[in-house]
Structure 1
């Protein structure tokens, strides 16, 4: 019963964080573009995310004619379940669980994310949605490889696969090899389909990509899954690449906040990449760099 209550509270906290992260995104992008952003509803537009949620969930549910109805509904549910389920690994001093091989569990869950995207595009019975799903799947699978290799680099250096133990380490991995941290951040941006690597939802080319046929509540589930992944990647960066030397209940959330804002700043600062250049960047630059980094740390472990 305790585990169930803890999991429910974690999911509720993540959903609330996602709601106000969307407000933060609109505010950051507005100030990047020298405008105000949401400021009419109450103070600083704080109730705006709640209004958006109500608006989306009360919309009429529309399922395209000829689509696979069961898969059309199952795909957003699967995406949100995976997006929230990975938060089971969140390290906390108040946690009532300990996952000794949490990094391997993270590998398994993130590798399943592509199925939600593919099912959403395939079940829509739309050529635009299916084309967007194919592009998203290719991008996700490609950058997942380099991202996981870089996580293994940190795991080798910290000699642990547990998120709780890695979070309490005193050594900032990012300062050991700063280019590796930059490659990691670019890989997480591509893995979560965020600008400038948002080819899964390239409105100018694909009419919104794999989710073009989704609206109302089902679109909200896909939206929540995407933002849950973004916040989790920001948290993962703080756990595996930053030092917790002065760990307190305040330091860790500040690090996560800074990383989540970097996702927003990259969207406001850079134009969209070209798709062939994106894939070439992964396979010809990031992957060899990740393999060399992992080989280096493996050589150090063997020699010591």
Structure 2
């Protein structure tokens, strides 16, 4: 009985730690993005709230919470109010299978630095990433706005297109590690990270994951010059903040997946495992921010052509080449 209670307590502690970690990192990723983009564009960025603008994320949270939460007339009120929560919760739940490090011994007990090691962890992540688009599509549809509806439809079409190349890009990783468990995939990279033998899969995964997270140059569901703000045009206050939070948590999920699948996960010299994972997450996030500040937005036909005509055939060829290499 005591062992069962201790297991529940450890699980709750781990859940609380991961939740706080994600919220704080998401808040300061916004600060990092604003400062980094400002430097790329020869500007200062936020520099008023606290030294170097470090208190700006706190000021933004206070503004979001205190701002009026408006609901459009004739919208589907229940779906409109719940849609942002779908985006945030699916992004948070993906971290349940991300391994933060090897097991540690505490009070004579082995404590795994992971919430749940599922033997189908990769499929679990894909399932949740597919569910996340429901928040975008339903939020756009429930807003009773043509701009929001177009943004929601674009988000759904973009997810369908790039989910295929995203999944196909990881088939060689599963072939090499012989497992869908993210812990097993990290352990299979004990000798070398998979990015060294699967650079094509890495490039396809990065491009597809950025398209799924709707970041520039793939932010067609928002496209402010065409659709106002796309699927969240009618949102304000804390619900707009939830869409915003979901985007930055999704950035962290992408960084963690790249680290686990291609960069050896928590492995690295000198630093503890969780710190190495954090460094890799931040590195991938900085690359995404750099791409945002460098590349222009694609046209919608270019977006679809890239997914269907380039990435999917390339991923299929990579699967065949990897299978032949493993066989011979």
Answer whether TM exceeds 0.5 for this pair: yes
Counterpart pick for 2:185 among 166, 170, 174: 166
SS at match of 1:199: coil
Separation of aligned partners in 1, 2:319 and 2:134: 28
Contact 1:25–1:264 (8 Å) recurs in 2: yes
Counterpart pick for 2:268 among 218, 237, 246: 246
Separation of aligned partners in 2, 1:148 and 1:112: 15
Deviations 1:4-33 (A, max 9, x none): 332232112111110000000001100100
Q: How many residues in Structure 1 have an aligned counterpart in Structure 2?
A: 303
Equivalent residue number for residue 149 of structure 2: 130
Separation of aligned partners in 1, 2:212 and 2:300: 14
Deviations 1:262-289 (A, max 9, x none): 0100000111111101100100000001
Q: Does 1:229 align with 2:250?
A: yes
Contact 1:114–1:141 (8 Å) recurs in 2: no
Equivalent residue number for residue 210 of structure 1: 231
Contact 2:140–2:231 (8 Å) recurs in 1: yes
Equivalent residue number for residue 277 of structure 1: 302
Contact 1:238–1:256 (8 Å) recurs in 2: yes
Separation of aligned partners in 2, 1:65 and 1:251: 49
Query: Where in structure 2 are there 5+ consecutive unaligned residues?
Result: 1-7, 103-112
Query: Where in structure 1 are there 5+ consecutive unaligned residues?
Result: none
Residues 290/54 of structure 1: CA separation in 2 closer, same or farther (3 Å cut): same
Q: Does 1:77 align with 2:113?
A: no
Q: Does 1:177 align with 2:195?
A: no
Deviations 1:249-271 (A, max 9, x none): 33322222111100100000111
RMSD between aligned alpha carbons? Answer: 1.5
Equivalent residue number for residue 127 of structure 2: 108
TM-score using structure 2 length: 0.88
Counterpart pick for 1:33 among 41, 46, 61: 41
Contact 1:83–1:229 (8 Å) recurs in 2: yes
Separation of aligned partners in 1, 2:223 and 2:53: 28
